């Protein structure tokens, strides 16, 4: 009998529905009181003083880049292994994304690779905290200091994750989070930008609020845009925040079950947790023999696997970078062996918060059956 096991399902219930109703009862649906409450909760968790919301994670990165002064012609180092929004946000700011390889242990940005792509135009580095664990921020910060670079953290998958006791997203000049449906906590769509200091924070306020600090005024001292959220979304976020301890506990249990049931399967290797990092599994990421054939086999059994990220240097939309004529833009597989290895050999196992032990057993049994054949 085929059992359906999706890759992901949102962890939502009646609590979120009731929270939305409160916005309608009070007749305040644009960004307002819920924004202040949710922001206070997040800043308390992260130990941050300055932060603003954004409509989604990609636009959070765009706001972050703009607020630290990234401008057309600048280059920003981005890991080759990440969701495309990390790089398109750079392009959106008018700058050039320069891809660096990742390590093979957990596919976090590789500092040795970054060294190869420095030019006089390099202005920032964007570490991405991948799959619910931190990048090597000690290495990133040392690299940035040596080369006088700004640091923008893509912490979309890292709400609640800490490195050496400090929350991800608070190491750099800005840190950017996502509340998309599959993130640790969700508002459906949404983003959050943590700023290092008050100056960057004020620039963020101008950028996201039509070039003014407060609404209700028709005088706009700076150029800005509408990057606000709604209290309807933020009400959902407040409820989700309250569920964070439960989410962390369930996520830890899920990866524990997978490790227990697949630990003796020679063809499966779990990614290693970065030293100094906590781990809230955004996905259960594994390296496996014949990964793509395995996913095809599981799909026929109703199990939705997912590939690792397609390397950015292979993306059709970034092939224009080959025409730049710069050494930093060599878009060949040989330059990014670990990103390519991850895509060709990596798989994300179903790990949504509500997955049952019966479903996990079903997934593991079918993986074992595939390799037994």
Interatomic CA distance for residues 352 and 5, integer angstroms: 10
Which residues of the chain are under the pLDDT cut of 70?
A: 323-328
- The alpha carbon of residue 179 and the mean position of all alpha carbons in its chain are separated, in whole angstroms, by 9
Q: Please say which residue of 242, 257, 290 terminates a domain.
A: 242
Tell me, yes or no, whether 138 and 249 share the same domain: no
The confidence score (pLDDT) of residue 324 equals 59
Tell me, yes or no, whether 86 and 167 share the same domain: yes
- In sequence order, the 6+-apart residues with CB closer than 8 A to the CB of 193 are 51, 52, 53, 54, 60, 63, 64, 67, 174, 175, 176, 177, 204
Interatomic CA distance for residues 373 and 369, integer angstroms: 6
Tell me, yes or no, whether 97 and 64 share the same domain: yes
4 domain residue, yes or no: no
DSSP label of 134: -
177: CATH: 3.40.640.10
162 domain residue, yes or no: yes
Q: Taking a C-beta distance cutoff of 8 angstroms, is the pair 8, 283 a contact?
A: no
| Residue 207 bridge partners (DSSP) | none
Q: Please say which residue of 221, 242, 263 terminates a domain.
A: 242
Tell me, yes or no, whether 178 and 214 share the same domain: yes
Q: Residue 43's domain spans which residues? A: 14-242
Tell me, yes or no, whether 25 and 161 share the same domain: yes
The confidence score (pLDDT) of residue 230 equals 97
**How many domains in the chain?**
2
Tell me, yes or no, whether 236 and 255 share the same domain: no
The confidence score (pLDDT) of residue 1 equals 85
3 domain residue, yes or no: no
Tell me, yes or no, whether 82 and 115 share the same domain: yes
What is the reported pTM?
0.96
Q: 115-128 pLDDT, tens per residue?
A: 999 999 999 999 99
The confidence score (pLDDT) of residue 114 equals 96
60 domain residue, yes or no: yes
Tell me, yes or no, whether 212 and 92 share the same domain: yes
Q: Please say which residue of 219, 242, 265 terminates a domain.
A: 242
2 domain residue, yes or no: no
333: CATH: 3.90.1150.10
Tell me, yes or no, whether 133 and 225 share the same domain: yes
Tell me, yes or no, whether 94 and 171 share the same domain: yes
**Residue 212 buriedness (CB in 10 A; 0-12 / 13-18 / 19+):** middle
6 domain residue, yes or no: no
Q: And the tokens for 258?
A: 């997978």
Tell me, yes or no, whether 69 and 100 share the same domain: yes
Q: Is 192 helix (H, G, I), strand (E, B) or coil?
A: strand
The confidence score (pLDDT) of residue 228 equals 96
User: Which stretches of the chain are DSSP H helices?
Assistant: 14-25, 33-46, 57-67, 85-92, 111-115, 137-146, 198-208, 231-242, 244-262, 291-300, 337-345, 357-372
Tell me, yes or no, whether 111 and 158 share the same domain: yes
Strands 122-125 and 150-154: parallel
């Amino acid at each position: 009998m085929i059992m359906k096991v999706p890759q992901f399902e949102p962890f939502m219930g009646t609590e979120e529905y009731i929270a939305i109703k409160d916005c309608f009862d009070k007749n305040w649906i644009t960004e307002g009181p819920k924004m202040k409450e949710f922001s206070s909760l997040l800043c308390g968790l992260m130990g941050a003083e300055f932060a603003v919301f954004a409509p989604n994670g990609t636009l959070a990165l765009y706001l972050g880049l703009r607020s630290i002064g990234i401008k057309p012609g600048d280059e920003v180092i981005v890991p080759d292994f990440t969701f495309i929004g990390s790089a398109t946000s750079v392009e959106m700011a008018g700058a050039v994304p320069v891809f660096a390889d990742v390590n093979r242990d957990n596919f976090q940005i590789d500092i040795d690779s970054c060294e190869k792509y420095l030019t006089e135009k390099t202005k920032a580095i964007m570490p991405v905290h991948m799959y619910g664990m931190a990048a090597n921020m000690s290495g990133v910060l040392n690299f940035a200091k040596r080369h006088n670079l700004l640091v923008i953290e893509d912490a979309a998958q890292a709400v609640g994750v800490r490195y050496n006791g400090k929350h991800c997203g608070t190491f750099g000049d800005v840190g950017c989070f996502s509340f998309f449906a599959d993130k640790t906590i969700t508002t459906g769509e949404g983003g959050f930008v943590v700023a290092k200091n008050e100056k960057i924070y004020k620039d963020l306020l101008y950028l996201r609020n039509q070039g003014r600090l407060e609404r209700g005024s028709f005088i706009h001292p700076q150029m800005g845009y509408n990057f606000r959220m709604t209290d309807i979304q933020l009400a959902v976020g407040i409820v989700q925040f309250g569920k964070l301890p439960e989410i962390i506990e369930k996520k830890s249990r899920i990866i524990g079950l997978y490790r227990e049931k697949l630990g003796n399967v020679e063809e499966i290797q779990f990614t290693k947790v970065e030293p100094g990092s906590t781990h809230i599994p955004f996905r259960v990421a594994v390296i496996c023999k014949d990964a793509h054939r395995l996913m095809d086999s599981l799909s026929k059994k109703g199990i939705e696997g997912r590939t690792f990220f397609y390397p950015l240097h292979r993306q059709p939309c970034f092939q224009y970078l080959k025409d730049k004529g710069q050494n930093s833009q060599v878009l060949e597989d040989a330059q990014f062996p670990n990103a390519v290895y991850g895509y060709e050999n990596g798989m994300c196992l179903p790990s949504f918060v509500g997955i049952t032990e019966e479903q996990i057993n079903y997934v593991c049994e079918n993986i074992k059956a595939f390799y037994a054949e």
